[in-house]
Each structure stands twice: as C-alpha cells, then as structure tokens.
Amino acid sequence: MSAMSDQRRATPPDIRARKGGAPLVVLTAYTTPMARLVDRHCDIVLVGDSVGMVLHGLPSTLGVTMEMMILHGQAVARGLAQALMVIDMPFASYEEGPKQAFRNAARLIAETGAAAVKLEGGAHMAETVAFLTARGIPVMGHVGLTPQAVNQLGGYRVQGRGADADRIRRDAAAVAAAGAFSVVLEKVPDALAREITQALEVPTIGIGASADCDGQVLVVDDMLGMFTEFRPKFVRRYAELGADADRAIAEYAADVRARRFPAPEHVFAMETPA
C-alpha cells in the first residue's frame, strides 16, 4: 500500500518532501483499468511515452505524438484517485526551446489533468526546466539513458561508465538545480546512482540504477511479464501474464474449433424459464 494512502491526491511538493524517506513506488499506466490497479499501490503513476512501443507496436519512442500522449493521459486520469500523475513530453515537443516546451507542457496538463511533466535531458535542458517551473509547471527530470536520444547514444546502452560518469553527475545536478522536483536515473551504474542520490536534494527514481535511489520505476507491462520475449536485466518479472494469456487464448481457440464453446450454460433459451 502506498505511503500516501491517506491523501486524496499526491502533489509534486509531497514527492519532493519524501527525499531520504520511504522509497517512492512508481509504475507506468496507459489505460483506465491499469491506472485503477496501480493507483492504490503507487505514489506516482507515469504516463510514459513507452506507450508507443508497449501498446502501439512502434520500434522506439520517437514516433509518439502529442495526440497519443493526450489520449492515454486522459484515460489514465479517469482511473486515479490518489497517486501523482506525471506525463511524458514526447520527442520533438520541447527540444526546440523553452517557449515550445511551455506551450506543449501546458497543453498536456490542461487536456489530461496531469500534475507534472517529465522530459529527458541533462545540462542542455536546464534552461527549459527552469522556464517551465517558473511558470507553474512541475517537471520531473530524466538523465542517463534517455530513450528519445537512442540514435545519438548508439542504442540502449548503460550510461555513465568510466569518464562518462562526470557527464551524468553534471546532468543530474543541472536539472535538479533548475527546479525539477525529482530526477529519473536510467541505466546507470549502481555506485554512480548511489552517489548522485546522496548529492541531490530532490528524490532520484531509478530504473536499471540502484536500490539506494529514493524510488523505483518500471514499465508495468514489463514487470507483469506481458511480453515473453522481452527480458531486460533491470526488470524483475512479478508475474508471467503474457504466457498465461497465451495459454488461455489457445484453450479458447481449441474449444471453439471443437464446438465445446459456447456450452449450454452460455446460450439462451427461446423462452424465459417459468
């Protein structure tokens, strides 16, 4: 059960105040039914641009649009009662500059009811983070592996090894100093994530980082095992729903072909029984 279960709705200041306290629980959601399931267990529900890969079959997050994020954000908002809702800003909706970022962030919040946006990038995005927060838009930062920069990074590789660690330190410090209320650390070495967590005054949320981060986030479909072929190292599978669904669908198909379904109890009589 979420540590915020006694509150009607968590806020960005609530999350910031959790620095160094009970770990923050974060999961993604893209639909109303899933939002209802995760809401009472999570402190933050993230409407991630991973929706493009998880639900739309895209090869990366780069094809996700504002319209897709708004559609799924509205669906998630209908299922939440207490968790803080954060929504991803999709690729090309904020990189041009602070004014573009403000227009699109304001639209996401106004049309979905999200309380905050998440955007990727480090020191080069600090000006944009400061611009948004100064104008009343809470921002969650995201450094380390930033999937929207997958082409520039050369794939989904661990970031921050060796001399590259300084870049991740600078990026995390820059977005926190610019006003981000929390910072996602994705796919960075354990020791580096621990060091950054200790250095920042705002909570860190790890994914493929360290258990010592102030919180953890996973794509809900990954941790539920919806995709039997996708098994990244940093994901623990808490269920195997994909395999269970495959078995159930196979059983249904066999029953239909053998005319075992529908059975007498599943059909209707011509006349209503007395």
Beta bridge partners of 205: 184, 215
φ, ψ dihedrals at 13, nearest 5°: -60, -35
Choosing from 67, 95, 186, 201, the catalytic residue is 186
Supply 201's token pair.
């005054």
In the chain, what's the furthest Cα-to-Cα distance?
Answer: 81
Sorted by sequence, the CB contacts under 8 Å of residue 76 that are 6+ apart come out as 29, 30, 31, 32, 34, 35, 45, 47, 85, 112
Determine whether the annotation assigns residue 50 to a binding site.
yes
Q: How far apart are CA 175 and CA 199, in angstroms?
A: 13
Our answer to whether residue 201 is catalytic in this structure is no
Supply 203's token pair.
């909570």
Q: How far apart are CA 33 and CA 80, in angstroms?
A: 10
89 DSSP 8-state letter? P
Determine whether the annotation assigns residue 6 to a binding site.
no
Determine whether the annotation assigns residue 14 to a binding site.
no
Determine whether the annotation assigns residue 187 to a binding site.
no
Determine whether the annotation assigns residue 49 to a binding site.
yes
Report the binding-site residues for 3-methyl-2-oxobutanoate: 49-50, 88, 118
Catalytic residues: 186
Binding-site residues: 49-50, 88, 118, 120
Indicate the annotated binding residues for Mg(2+). 49, 88, 120
